[in-house]
């Protein structure tokens, strides 16, 4: 029997401290609070890998989605920016 239908959207709140600065970066490593809606594609990927127990892959998908939405402003800036999430202190997720 198939599982419950999930709405393909998600939002996340996270507090991350520490980051690795890459050449050309204007941002300093600091604690960031971000509340961000993720695109439906990212939410679908997160649910799919969660359902098969792929924990590390979830982090990769989340970092890519948050990087695109938050640091790259949905593709409007920071095209060559490399994002590394380190020292995550808190992450909360909601759907719907």
Q: Which residue's entry shows tokens 């909601």?
A: 94
Is residue 54 assigned to a domain?
yes
Is residue 2 assigned to a domain?
no
Is residue 31 assigned to a domain?
yes
Report field, pTM of the whole predicted structure over 0.95? no
- Give me the number of domains the chain comprises: 1
Is residue 5 assigned to a domain?
no
95 φ, ψ (degrees, to nearest 5): -125, 160
Is residue 63 assigned to a domain?
yes
Is the alpha carbon torsion for 5, 10, 15, 17 positive or negative? positive
Is residue 33 assigned to a domain?
yes
Is residue 46 assigned to a domain?
yes
* Helix, strand, or coil (residue 84): coil
Model pLDDT for residues 39-73, shown as the tens digit of each residue: 778 778 877 887 888 777 777 777 788 788 777 77
Question: Residue 93 has what pLDDT?
Answer: 66
Is residue 4 assigned to a domain?
no
Reply yes or no on whether the pLDDT at 86 is more than 80. no
Task: Give the structural domain span for 86.
Answer: 10-95
Instruction: Give one word for 66, left, alpha or beta, with left for phi > 0 and alpha for psi -120 to 50.
Output: alpha
């Amino acid at each position: 029997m198939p599982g419950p239908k999930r709405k393909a959207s998600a939002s996340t709140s996270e507090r991350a401290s520490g980051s690795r600065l890459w050449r050309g970066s204007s941002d300093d490593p600091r604690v960031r609070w971000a509340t961000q809606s993720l695109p439906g594609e990212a939410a679908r990927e997160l649910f799919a890998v969660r359902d098969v127990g792929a924990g590390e892959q979830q982090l990769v998908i989340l970092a890519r989605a948050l990087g695109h939405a938050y640091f790259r402003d949905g593709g409007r800036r920071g095209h060559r920016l490399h994002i590394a999430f380190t020292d995550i202190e808190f992450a909360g997720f909601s759907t719907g």
